[in-house]
Amino acid sequence: MIDRTTSTPSAIVLGLDCITGLQTARALHRRGVRVTGIAHDPRHFATRTRCVERVLPAPRDDAGLLACLRPLATDDRPVLIPATDAAVFFLARNGVALGSSFRLSNAGGRSIERALGKVAFARHAGAHAVPIPRTAAVESLDDLRRAAAELRPPFLLKPDVKNERWIQQARTKLFVASDADELERLYARCRTWNDRFVVQEYVEGGDDRMYSYYAFIGEDGRLVAECVGHKLRQWPRRTGSGTLSEHCRDDEIERCGRALLASLDHRGHATVNMKRDGRTGRLFVIEANLGRPGMGVFVADAAGIEMIWLAHRSLAGESFSSLPEPRFPGARWVCLKRDFAAAWEAWRAGELGALAYLGSLRGVRRCAVLDLRDPLPFLHDLFRLPGHLSRRRQQATID
């Protein structure tokens, strides 16, 4: 239940030019919230949405983004919602100064600092008994060889923080190495893109062993909404983001997610990705993404838990007497283009048939890009697909 004591302020989505930004704008628009989109790439397909009143191009540096926001400060103190990691870091650096003109979560960025980077998160997890795979920090070749000797293969090689060079060059969140020699070759390739890494043991099991805990915590520290999503497929396989997710109930995952966020003293949006070991059934926390909605959080929306709108109302000053219950338990969310790529690879590996693929889409209530009430983003993304594939083939030839 919601105690309605305030009017509805407008919202500003920082990072409209991504799938998360698009879904966030749509979720607020459905509730009648006036939305402004800030985009670094005004040509991105998401900026074609009809769910924002305007799209403002903005530079990536702090000074330019602050200059873009100043004219948007109004008496209703618009709600700022970051949709990208870069936007989260921007608010962590500038949130205190912006707090007098806008409404935002975690203005001081305390929990962001505690979990910023894989190394800091691993240290925090170790200090607070958070179950994570065995992890080693790597800043040199000697560190890498020591990690390979101490940990069990296969290994995951991840950057401490995904900087712009990593995003441009790697085109993946992490690399998998089957043995120490392959790990060393990957490190030699990646060390020019970043200067700090972690090596982590791989948790056995397929993509369907992945789960995500989604939550929004109010500024008073109270849990406003939570949801567990079970990843059925992800892209790229083994190392990517969820493309097909199903709402589920899981007490162990909820307890683990709540405990981690409490240890971080977090406020705002959070996504905690976990995996159950395929051999032992033990649950591990893989990573935590704080300060913004995760792309897959809209499985909660599919289940009838309107987490984006509830977060907006919380920041507007409304209080909640109870956690929302799902109206459509087991509902599914899909990112069609990426999910088709994941299904295609599974079909080529002999793991998925056409009928099974079509059956897996039964129960889908929300699509990441496709929305018949807002068709232009999907059509624009579809029309640019041939050029995107051509560039990928050219890049593959160069690599």
Inter-CA distances, 72 with 8, 35, 312, 337, Å: 16, 11, 17, 34
Residues 165 and 57 both lie in one domain:
no
The pLDDT value recorded for residue 395 is 42
The answer to whether position 28 is within a domain reads yes
Inter-CA distances, 214 with 115, 133, 236, 244, 253, Å: 16, 20, 21, 15, 10
The pLDDT value recorded for residue 388 is 54
Question: pLDDT digits over 79-137, tens only?
Answer: 999 999 889 989 999 999 999 999 999 887 778 877 878 998 999 999 999 999 999 99
Sign of the dihedral through C-alpha 308, 312, 315, 320? negative
Q: How far apart are CA 270 and CA 97, in angstroms?
A: 23
The answer to whether position 125 is within a domain reads no
196: confidence class by pLDDT, cuts 50, 70, 90: very high
Residues 230 and 364 both lie in one domain:
yes
Residues 346 and 230 both lie in one domain:
yes
Checking if the pLDDT of 341 tops 80, the result is: yes
Q: How far apart are CA 239 and CA 202, in angstroms?
A: 10
Residues 195 and 211 both lie in one domain:
no
3-state secondary structure 117-161: CHHHHHHHHHHCCCCCCCEEEECCHHHHHHHHHHCCCCEEEEECC
387: confidence class by pLDDT, cuts 50, 70, 90: low
The answer to whether position 264 is within a domain reads yes
In sequence order, what are the residues at sequence separation of 6 or more whose Cβ sits closer than 8 angstroms to the Cβ of residue 105?
219, 267, 268, 269, 291, 311, 315
Residues 182 and 218 both lie in one domain:
no
Residues 267 and 335 both lie in one domain:
yes
The first and second tokens of residue 356, run together, are 């099974």
CATH number at 184 reads 3.30.1490.20
Checking if the pLDDT of 389 tops 60, the result is: no
Checking if the pLDDT of 30 tops 50, the result is: yes
Q: How far apart are CA 338 and CA 105, in angstroms?
A: 30
The answer to whether position 244 is within a domain reads yes
Name the maximum alpha-carbon separation found in the chain: 62
Residues 211 and 195 both lie in one domain:
no
Range of the domain at 269: 207-380
Checking if the pLDDT of 266 tops 80, the result is: yes
The answer to whether position 397 is within a domain reads no
Q: How far apart are CA 224 and CA 222, in angstroms?
A: 6
Q: Cα 95–17–391 angle (5° rounding)?
A: 135
The pLDDT value recorded for residue 399 is 34
- Domain tally for the chain? 3
pTM of the model: 0.90
Checking if the pLDDT of 390 tops 80, the result is: no
Residues 347 and 234 both lie in one domain:
yes
Residues 221 and 287 both lie in one domain:
yes
